[in-house]
């Protein structure tokens, strides 16, 4: 039986394992929401870890036996990948429709602050590079790079969150 599908109209799983669909979707939306908060994009895979942990927790509430590590990793990985893809799509839709790049100003300020630690020459060099790259448009190649980057970061966050989630949220016993 495919655990991503629900066979009865009530939405409840008929097997001993609950459906993973709802926890994964909730975790993915939370992941995307956290990823859009200013400075959150500087925390690497933390939003993915949090979303995956939430999904494994929600899934574990319906268990009657301990969660297998492989199940936790699957939930964390799918949640983080879906959340990363959703984040990229939201950012790019806003960029294409509004001309605003979510998080771009935060990244610029952070890059300039880091460069300031190396001196004024480094700040000027970073400023020039930022101006050159800031004028770019969203091309298919840039979109592909965003997806590849999101998939890589999401995979790391998903593996971490799934492993932690399976270990922490074992489900009800007996």
In a domain, 174, yes or no: no
Q: What is the pTM of this model?
A: 0.78
- Give the number of domains in the chain: 1
Structural domain harbouring 124:
21-168
Q: For 121-146, what is each residue's pLDDT tens digit?
A: 988 998 888 887 766 677 888 889 98
- The answer on pLDDT for 8 being more than 70 is no
Token pair recorded at residue 69? 């590590």
Residue 139 lies in a domain: yes
Strand, coil or helix: 28: helix
**Residue among 57, 34, 2 nearest 154 (CA):** 34
Q: Domain for residue 4, yes or no?
A: no
Residue 8 resides in a domain:
no
Is residue 132, in this structure, part of any structural domain at all? yes
What's the rounded Cα separation, in Å, for the pair 171 and 62? 7
Is 136 inside a domain boundary?
A: yes
Residue 81 lies in a domain: yes
Domain assignment present for residue 1? The answer is no
Residue with tokens 């459906």: 19
pLDDT value of position 135: 60
pLDDT (tens digit per residue) in 141-162: 888 998 999 999 999 999 999 9
The radius of gyration of the chain from alpha carbons, rounded to an integer in Å, stands at 20
For 163, left (φ over 0), alpha (ψ -120 to 50), or beta?
alpha
Q: Is residue 118 helix, strand or coil?
A: coil
């Amino acid at each position: 039986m495919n655990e991503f599908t629900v066979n009865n109209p009530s939405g409840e799983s008929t097997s001993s394992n609950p459906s993973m669909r709802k926890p994964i979707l909730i975790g993915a939306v939370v992941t995307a929401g956290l990823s859009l908060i200013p400075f959150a994009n500087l925390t690497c895979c933390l939003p993915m870890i949090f979303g995956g942990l939430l999904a494994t927790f929600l899934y574990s509430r319906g268990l009657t036996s301990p969660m297998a590590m492989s199940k936790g990793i699957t939930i964390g990985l799918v949640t983080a990948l879906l959340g990363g893809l959703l984040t990229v799509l939201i950012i790019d839709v806003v960029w294409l429709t509004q001309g605003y790049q979510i998080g771009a100003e935060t990244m610029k300020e952070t890059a300039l602050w880091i460069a300031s630690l190396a001196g004024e020459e480094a700040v000027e060099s970073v400023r020039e590079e930022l101006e050159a790259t800031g004028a770019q448009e969203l091309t298919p190649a840039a979109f592909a790079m965003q997806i590849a980057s999101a998939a890589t970061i999401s995979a790391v966050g998903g593996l971490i969150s799934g492993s932690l989630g399976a270990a922490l949220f074992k489900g009800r016993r007996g």
